[in-house]
Amino acid sequence: MIDVLQTMNLRPEVQPDLEARYRVHGPDAPDSVKANIRGLVTNGHAGASRELIDSLPKLEIIVSSSVGYDHIDVEYARSKGIPVTNTAGSLDDDVADLAIALMIMTARKLVPSDKYVRDNRWAKEGDYPLQRRASGKRVGILGLGRIGKAIARRAEAMDNTIAYHSRREVADSPYTYYPTLVELAKNSDFLVVVLPSSPESHKIVSQEVIAALGPSGIIVNVARGTVVDEDVLIAALQAGALGGAGLDVFYDEPRVPEVFFGMENVVLMPHVGSATVETRRAMSQLTLDNLDAHFAGKKLLTPV
Q: Rounded to the nearest 10 degrees, how much is the dihedral formed by the CA atoms of 289, 295, 298, 301? A: 30
The active-site residue, picked from 38, 154, 224, 294, is: 224
Residue 161 pairs with which residues in a beta bridge? 138
Active site residue 71: no
Helix (H, G, I), strand (E, B) or coil at 193: strand
Residue 102 sits at the vertex; the CA angle it makes with 148 and 245, to the nearest 5 degrees, is 100
Neighbour order of strands in the sheet with 84-85: 22-25, 2-6, 39-42, 61-64, 84-85
Active site residue 294: no
65-93: b or e for each residue (b if 16 or more CB lie within 10 Å)?
bbbbbbbbbbeebeeeebbbbbbbebbbb
How do strand 176-177 and strand 84-85 relate by DSSP bridges?
A: unpaired
Active site residue 280: no
* H or E segment and range at residue 209: helix 207-213
Q: What is the CA radius of gyration of the chain?
A: 22
Q: Which residues are catalytic?
A: 224, 253, 271
